[in-house]
Amino acid sequence: MDNTDILGYIGALIVGLVLGLIGGGGSILTVPLLVYLLGYNPIIATAYSLFVVGTTSLVGTLQKHKKGLVDFKTGLAFSFPSFVAVYLSRRYLVPNIPDSLFSIESIEITKEMSIMIFFSIIMLISSVSMIKNKKKSDVTTKNSQPYYKTFIQGIIIGTITGIIGAGGGFLYVPALVLWANIPMKKAVGTSLIIVTINSLIGFTGDMQTLAIDWFFLLSFTITSIIGILLGVYLSKFISGKKLKKSFGIFTLIMAIYIVYRETSLE
């Protein structure tokens, strides 16, 4: 095992730590880690990210369920349209995107570049929400939106999740708070069950189109699971709000770095 591999597994541990501490953001680290540190192409990286984040989120779901912080009924209502969109995106949309999309003067815009740029845009949006870190009330109303709206929202978020290989927790938490009127703490736990279902079903679409290095993927995932268990334990002693804001700033820097790397003429 060389130094790069060791750094990769340290990164996997950090991915789990972040998921355990703030309830999301693991995929934001996983894809850049796999692409820029371990040298995987973005298509493989987004596929592996779905498996890693889905499996670690399953562990997180069990932890939150023990505390009564998972609304399975609402989670499954969001999951159905989402996992259909994620699966179809990974099985048919992503494999059929042309390798070369178009050219701007002498710059060729490739499939891999486009996915990473799109990923960085989602990272920017996520970072802003984490940096703002607005306090949400745990008081909820009995009003709930019609299911067709939930279905449409699930399709949109699921498609985004499928393209960038992210779990989508940073998208589902505000959706559950604002649209499903779920208290913030329960929204974080409920988002994990959605992320678990979406990510793992989305990954099954990749299994039919990609060659999977199971030894690496499982060892990387186990390391992340150790990280999430450690993160859940440490969350009792660390301020989640301050940590989330700091991670938001880090995410913003990473998003800018990705844009720089992908548009560099080197």
- State which amino acid sits at residue 142: K
22: Cβ contacts below 8 Å, ≥ 6 apart = 240, 243, 244, 247
Q: How far apart are CA 51 and CA 136, in angstroms?
A: 30
Taking CA atoms, 110 is separated from 47, 99, 162, 170, 262, in Å, by 18, 6, 18, 27, 10
Q: How far apart are CA 178 and CA 194, in angstroms?
A: 16
Cβ density class 162-180: b for 16+ within 10 Å, e for less = bbbbbbbbbbbbebbbeeb
200: helix, strand or coil: helix
User: Phi and psi of 167, rounded to 5°?
Assistant: -70, -35
103 is in which domain, residue-wise?
A: 3-263
261: left (phi over 0), alpha (psi -120 to 50) or beta: alpha
Element (H, E) at 101: strand 100-104
Q: How far apart are CA 182 and CA 5, in angstroms?
A: 41
Number of domains in the chain: 1
* pTM summary value: 0.77
Per-residue pLDDT 10s for the chain (266 aa) are: 667 778 888 888 888 887 777 666 666 788 888 888 888 888 898 889 889 888 888 888 888 888 888 888 888 888 888 888 888 888 888 888 888 888 877 777 888 888 888 888 888 887 887 777 655 444 444 456 677 777 888 888 888 878 877 666 667 777 787 777 788 778 878 888 888 888 888 898 889 888 999 999 999 999 988 988 888 788 777 766 677 777 778 778 888 888 888 877 54
Give me the count of residues in the chain: 266
Cβ–Cβ < 8 Å for 257, 28: no
